[in-house]
């Protein structure tokens, strides 16, 4: 009876160690995926590699071009 109890205890201990190692690996994998998602949501580049600040300037420039084209279409002299 004593030998069976030793085998059962060692088996249970091995299972607990395996479960703890798998849990740690799972948490590491989740952390990796979270970092990948954070990298993916980084500031998006706009035409020619411009970042957010340059993108605002580019958008303002495009709006000004649109105003000029609308003025030309309406026959207004700039």
Give the residue from 53, 35, 37 showing the smallest Cα distance to 45.
53
Output the pLDDT for position 22. Answer: 97
Distance in angstroms (rounded) separating the CA atoms of residues 18 and 70:
70
Residue 70 tokens, joined: 């609308």
pLDDT for 42: 55
Structure tokens, 28? 């590491």
pLDDT digits (tens, 9 = 90+) for 43-59: 555 555 556 677 788 88
So where are the chain's domains?
A: 1-42, 45-78
**Residues of the chain under the 50 pLDDT cut:** none
Separation of first and last alpha carbons in the chain: 102
- Per-residue DSSP letter, 46: B
């Amino acid at each position: 009876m004593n030998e069976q109890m030793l085998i059962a205890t060692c088996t249970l201990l091995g299972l607990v160690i395996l479960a703890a190692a798998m849990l740690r690996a799972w948490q590491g994998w989740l952390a990796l995926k979270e970092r990948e998602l954070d990298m993916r949501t980084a500031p998006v580049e706009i035409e020619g590699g411009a970042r957010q600040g340059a993108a605002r300037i580019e958008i303002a420039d495009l709006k000004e071009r649109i105003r000029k084209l609308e003025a030309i279409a309406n026959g207004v002299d700039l």
